[in-house]
Structure 1
């Protein structure tokens, strides 16, 4: 039986210092990552050694109804580094920052975290350089 591969509809734009509506944005350094190695994956699939380079922000239609695609990409604004651990469900006991995020999550306790205890909704899509490519770049 063939394996199903999920494809995420994301419009990945080039790195620019202007947002979709002209707002100034901070961009990553030119040597932060090779754009050809970037993959779009759900937050739950981030592994130790992967390099997180940005997020795919959801596109909302009229009445703030989420659509099935991403409209824009937000890149990290700093030199990236490999994740030290796999993504994990939010654990308020992990640290003070996780406890703070858990209080602000309200009823939605299904959030996930990555290095630095950044919290994401479980359906968030991230721009990641898989560890296999990240290791090659570090050689």
Structure 2
């Protein structure tokens, strides 16, 4: 039986410094990454060595239902570096910041964590340069 792979529909537009409603947006440096190496992956599939370059911001309908398309991409404004660990389920006992997020209801055990203590909803999509391409680039 063939394996089923999830496919995230993507329409790529040029990077712009204006969001869909005209708000100013952070753009990555021109040489931050090779656009041909970027993949859209669920947060749970981030692996040690992958480089995260941004988040895919979901689009919501008039009743605040999540639609099957992204509204825009939010690039990280800082220099990216390879992840030191695989993504993991959120653990409120990991550190004080994680305990705080759990206490205020910002995250629970259904959430996922990458890059130390950055927590995402379980259905979040991230722009990632897979570790295989990072190694090729000699980062």
Note if contact 1:27-1:78 (Cα within 8 Å) is conserved in structure 2: no
Counterpart-to-counterpart distance in 1, 2:12 and 2:92: 33
Superposition CA RMSD, Å: 1.6
State the secondary structure of the residue aligned to 1:57.
strand
Task: Extract unaligned runs of 5+ from structure 2.
Answer: none
Note if contact 1:12-1:73 (Cα within 8 Å) is conserved in structure 2: no
Q: Which residue of 2 aligns with 1:45?
A: 45
Q: In the comparison of the two structures, how many residue pairs are matched?
A: 139
Q: Give the TM-score of the pair, scaled to structure 2.
A: 0.92
Counterpart-to-counterpart distance in 1, 2:90 and 2:107: 13
Question: C-alpha displacement at 1:108, in angstroms?
Answer: 4.4
Counterpart-to-counterpart distance in 1, 2:107 and 2:51: 30
Q: Which residue of 2 aligns with 1:11?
A: 11
Q: Which residue of 1 aligns with 2:77?
A: 77
Counterpart-to-counterpart distance in 1, 2:2 and 2:60: 33
After TM superposition, list the pairs within 5 Å mapping 1:21-32 onto structure 2.
Answer: 21-32=21-32
Question: C-alpha displacement at 1:107, in angstroms?
Answer: 7.9
Matching of residue 104 in structure 1 with residue 88 in structure 2: no
Counterpart-to-counterpart distance in 2, 1:68 and 1:85: 29
Q: Which residue of 2 aligns with 1:134?
A: 134
Q: Which residue of 2 aligns with 1:125?
A: 125
Closer, same or farther in 2 for the Cα pair 1:92/1:108, shift >3 Å?
Answer: closer
Q: Give the TM-score of the pair, scaled to structure 1.
A: 0.92
Counterpart-to-counterpart distance in 2, 1:107 and 1:76: 21
Question: C-alpha displacement at 1:125, in angstroms?
Answer: 0.5
